[in-house]
Amino acid sequence: MLENTFPIGSEVFAKVNPDLKLTIRQYLKRIYYCTVNGNPSQRDLVYFERELMPIPVK
């Protein structure tokens, strides 16, 4: 059973920094590994599901 709400490749933002768009790169053991959009060489940011929000579709 899959527990993740956000599939790999989804664009999200962290609740603590809603101005920074992230892309889900990997989901392992209830942790999301995200890359910063526009800066793929930066190290991954790591979040739990409760710390992420989907980007609203306009």
pLDDT tens, residue order, the chain (58 aa): 457 889 999 999 999 999 999 999 999 999 999 999 999 899 999 999 999 999 887 7
Asked if residue 6 is part of any domain, the answer here is: no
Asked if residue 31 is part of any domain, the answer here is: yes
Asked if residue 3 is part of any domain, the answer here is: no
Per-residue pLDDT at 2: 58
Per-residue pLDDT at 1: 46
The parent domain of residue 30 ranges over 11-54
Per-residue pLDDT at 6: 92
The total of structural domains in the chain comes to: 1
Burial of 44 (0-12, 13-18, 19+ CB in 10 A): middle
Asked if residue 21 is part of any domain, the answer here is: yes
Query: Using CA atoms, how far apart are residues 22 and 8, in angstroms rounded to an integer?
Result: 11
Per-residue pLDDT at 56: 81
